[in-house]
Amino acid sequence: MIKTTKLHAEFNSQEATWLAFPYVESEWGGQLDEAKTTLRHVLDVLDAAGETVRLLGDYRIAYGDCWLRDTMPIFATRNDKLVGMGGNFNGWGEKFQIPGDETVARDVCQTLGIEYIKLPLILEGGGIDTDGDIIITSDCLLHPRRNPNLNARMLRELLCESLSANQCLVFNGSLTNDHTDGHIDTLVRFVAKNKVVCMTPTDYRDPNYETLLSLQEQLALTDLEVVTVPSPGLVYDSSRNVAPASYVNFYIANNVVLVPTYGVDQDDAMLQALKPLFPNRQIVGINSRPLLAGGGAIHCCLMQQPKMEPS
């Protein structure tokens, strides 16, 4: 029997959303309590929307931090059975190696009683997005501390073969001060089959002005339908450093879309921009400044488990 692995788009039906709370004080720049409060609010919003939430801590699975998008398995199906896939996690290019993070994907699969498939490359979940096909950035996956022995052609072929995708589109770009080195979930996101959103810079003072315009030019060369949404523009962290704030780091659940907001003028425009893209889902803004203190936002903290449809 030929084993065919199928990725599931986030906008398709989900069985559950996985979440974990941070606990390592040194990783949060004095904002650990605020980050926990934010994620409790996320949990409350998901509960109110009728979503099933699975807390990693309830399963007594060891983990380092709350960034489950990157440490959880990437769920897929193989011959109509749920499986979990994981790359060789190395702490975001050897920057933040917290004990427990490297074994989360394997341990979740063992807990669920599903096959764990180890992918032959270094990959975090936020570094890939899918509608069945795949989008990534070269900045992240071809970073010298991730996959130094691969080039873009080899990477595309490897991902398409491993994940049974027809194509893998590789873009260039990374937000200012983004220690993920350009996770695609901060830049371009699928919202429907063959349809993506990306940000347009607020003005020339936007710290990502050139990057965002370049991404639009790259996307124009593809067959994807592209919808532009606002950028939050210049957002500082508590130390007055430019923060890698992104509006497209939203999370799509069954009944609700959780959107990071930053207390800036563009917040409301972003929420309004998503409404026609998700007419059957509630759009909810989540103040994500506390999460930025740890280096991410909403999508970085959550991982969807797809619903298994009857054969």
The 10s digit of each residue's pLDDT in 100-137 is: 999 999 999 999 999 999 999 999 999 999 999 999 99
> What pTM, to 2 d.p., does this model score?
0.96
Residue 2 has a pLDDT of 46
Residue 180 has a pLDDT of 95
Q: Could you tell me if 6 and 76 are in contact, meaning their C-beta atoms sit under 8 angstroms apart?
A: yes
- 5-306 to CATH, choices 3.40.50.2300, 3.75.10.10, 3.40.50.720, 3.30.460.80: 3.75.10.10
Question: Shortest CA distance to 302 belongs to which of 130, 33, 131, 75?
Answer: 75
Long-range contacts of 271-277 (CB under 8 A, 24+ apart): 273/227, 273/229, 273/230, 274/197, 274/229, 274/250, 277/191, 277/192, 277/197, 277/227
Q: Please, what is the average pLDDT of the chain? A: 95
Q: Could you tell me if 179 and 204 are in contact, meaning their C-beta atoms sit under 8 angstroms apart?
A: no
Q: Could you tell me if 259 and 288 are in contact, meaning their C-beta atoms sit under 8 angstroms apart?
A: no
Which pairing describes strands 129-130 and 134-137: parallel, antiparallel, or unpaired? antiparallel
Q: How many CB atoms lie within 10 A of CB 121?
A: 17
Rg of the chain over Cα atoms, rounded to whole angstroms, equals: 18
For the chain, which ranges sit under pLDDT 50?
1-2
Task: Please identify which residue in the block is written with the tokens 């990959």.
Answer: 123
> Domain-by-domain residue ranges, the chain?
5-306
Residue 1 has a pLDDT of 36
Helix or strand or coil: residue 155? Answer: helix
